[in-house]
Amino acid sequence: MSIRKPIRMVVKGLKRWLLDENQTYPEVPFDNRDDWMRFAYLKLNQDPVCNRRPWYIWGVLQGAALSKVLGIEHISVIEFGVAGGGGLISLERAAELTEELVGIKIDVYGFDTGSGNPKIMDYRDVPFRWSEGYWPMDKQKLEKLLHRAQLVLGHTKDTIPEFIRRKPAPVAFAAIDLTMYSSTVEALKLFEAEYSLLLPRTYCMFRSLLGSRGDQCDYIGERLAIQEFNAKDTMRKLCHMDGLRYFVPNYINEGSWPEFFYLLHIFDHPLYNKPSSLRQSINIDTEGSEDIKEVPDTINDSIAEQP
């Protein structure tokens, strides 16, 4: 039996560990592939504002890379639940750097009531964990620190329909940290919008899915809102990104954040079947070596024409 493959795997693993430890990767040509994503991820993570929220780096990069490959040159990224604003500041910075790296325009939005959590509806809003008025915003202070992000203030039941009517650039990434079931249900109505406002696979994360006390379950909070969303439509599903922690750089996947990520699949989106990378693995030999080639334009065109 050949020992070259096990040795190659060990060497590859050692190389990855050393690169992660030093937070550097050799520059690679743009593509929506793991090698470029790891390079871009670690590049942005060196920025002192970005690295406060590594999960925002990952979400923005993934959404932007997929958009670029699909030919979408202008996208939106959103934070639901701004509170003090530290997350929105990091999201804004990640968008700025990603624009430069990918060559794509990114609008940034922050949705919040401006006055903290709204009134608790019932047990589904998890009142044993948080209450009305938690996490208010100092709007004037935050606005002075923002460069381009737009604050959208009000209750999601009012702001989401108006946002959809404005026809923003397609949403590529949405970070949802509204904590409450009722607010999350209204926010998820964004994912019911027309195809042109969403990617065929839209990246999103839910910050309040886990509880250190083990008190979160499928019948309250964000988890219940996700279940109810999935029950509405056979062609739109929010799916947990299982095993994500094994695909992000070792150096920055510490903590629970890889567990927060979901992907909205819109199966009947006109671009759903279009290849998601510029180059794909065409052949794999007996030693596991891949033959990476560009996807022919004719393949992209024929798939894009499918219903």
Q: What is the pLDDT of residues 46-65, one digit of tens each?
A: 999 999 999 999 999 999 99
Q: What is the pLDDT of residue 270?
A: 97
Q: What is the pLDDT of residue 306?
A: 44
Would residue 297 count as lying in a domain? yes
Q: Domain check: are 169 and 187 in the same one?
A: yes
Secondary structure tally for the chain: helices H, strands E: 9, 9
Would residue 190 count as lying in a domain? yes
Q: How many CB atoms lie within 10 A of CB 278?
A: 17
Domain count across the chain: 2
Q: Domain check: are 114 and 190 in the same one?
A: yes
Q: Domain check: are 220 and 288 in the same one?
A: no
Would residue 232 count as lying in a domain? yes
Domain that holds residue 241: 9-266
Helix axes 54-70, 86-98, angle to 10 degrees: 40
Quote the pTM value.
0.87
Q: How many CB atoms lie within 10 A of CB 270?
A: 14
Q: Domain check: are 261 and 278 in the same one?
A: no
Q: Domain check: are 118 and 202 in the same one?
A: yes
Q: Which residues of 180-208 are buried (b: 16+ CB within 10 A; e: fewer)?
A: bbbbbbbbbebbebeeebbbbbbbbbbbb
Q: In whole angstroms, give the CA distance from residue 210 to residue 230.
A: 19
- Model confidence at 1, pLDDT cuts 50, 70, 90, reads very low
Residue 106: left (phi > 0), alpha (psi -120 to 50), or beta? beta
The token duo for 222 is: 């964000």
Q: Is the pLDDT of residue 304 over 50?
A: no
Would residue 182 count as lying in a domain? yes
Q: Domain check: are 155 and 252 in the same one?
A: yes
Mean pLDDT of the chain: 87
Nearest CA-CA partner of 128 in 216, 53, 209: 216
Q: What is the pLDDT of residues 232-262, one digit of tens each?
A: 999 999 999 998 888 776 655 567 888 899 9
Q: What is the pLDDT of residues 162-205, one digit of tens each?
A: 999 999 999 999 999 998 999 999 999 999 999 999 999 999 99
Q: What is the pLDDT of residue 276?
A: 94
The token duo for 193 is: 């919008």
Would residue 241 count as lying in a domain? yes
